[in-house]
Amino acid sequence: MSTTAAPEARPVWLWPVATTLHDQLPTDMREAWLTRLHGVLDEGPDTSTLRTVHTWHADTILPLLAEAAHDEDITVFAALGDLHREAAQGRTADQDTWRAALAPVLLRLYDAAYDRTSAYAEAHAGARDYALANGFAATEADGYGHEYARLSSDANARSCAEAHAEAVGGALARAYATDGCEAYAETFPDAQLRAVVRVLADRGDPAPATRLAEGLLTALISRSVSSRAEPPTR
């Protein structure tokens, strides 16, 4: 994805995110969306803080994840959404509060994004071949492979989710609590976005990238309107 915007006008977190969205969009929509993005940025939205990020998460990302979630998980998305909504108005929580709200959401996100199909197939093939090499009959070897694959893929998914939630959660909590754009960029928001797209697509959303991309534009536009409405700082 190319851009003609002046470097100083680019929030450090935006272009990795925008590039990921651009690449995930249907090919016939990419250039039109990029043109619209440049048009919105030309309006001069205030991207010196993370308020755009908070608006995008509160109004788009978390509601989409909640739509795709199991009923018993919806409350964890709502709780984090409330924090983002407050932060979008300039009332950000402290680091511990952010971390407590982020942890259950990130655990569910990365657990759901784990590629169980590929992991299961690889584990099954390896265990089956091991059993065959050690004298198991074909049927027994196949059963052994499936049992091993079930246990290992579930355990690996949990371990992966816990590791990501621990690493990303702490970094995000620090970025949100300090309203740090550079700190947020260092949490690899593009990788988090790819996980969201994967989960939504796996849960049956026919156009997750389109909805996320539209939400980002809306969040940026809201900051253009807000920055014009806010009185100048004395």
In this prediction, residue 64 carries a pLDDT of 97
* Structure confidence by residue, pLDDT tens digits, 204-234: 999 999 999 999 999 999 988 665 555 444 3
**Cβ atoms 21, 193 nearer than 8 A:** yes
How does residue 176 score in pLDDT terms, banded at 50, 70 and 90?
very high
Task: Tell me the C-alpha distance between 186 and 175, whole Å.
Answer: 9
Between the alpha carbon of residue 177 and those of residues 49, 77, 83, 118, 136, the distances in Å are: 12, 18, 11, 37, 57
Give the mean pLDDT of the chain.
Answer: 88
Phi/psi at 124 (5° precision): -65, -45
Name the more confident of 174 and 9: 174
> Interior CA angle at 27 toward 23 and 29, to 5°?
95
Joined tokens for residue 77:
């998305």
Other beta carbons within 10 Å of 90: 12
> Residues of the chain with pLDDT > 90: what percent?
62
Return d(Cα 223, Cα 231) in angstroms, integer: 14
Structure token pair of residue 116: 């169980």
Q: Is the CB of residue 200 less than 8 Å from the CB of residue 21? A: no
The angle, 0 to 180 degrees and rounded to 10, between the axes of the packed helices 95-113 and 74-88 is 130
Contact 215, 59 (CB under 8 A): yes
Measured at the CA of 219, the angle between CA 75 and CA 196, to 5 degrees, comes to: 50
Taking only the tens place, the pLDDT of each residue in 47-89 is: 999 999 999 999 999 999 999 988 888 999 999 999 999 999 9
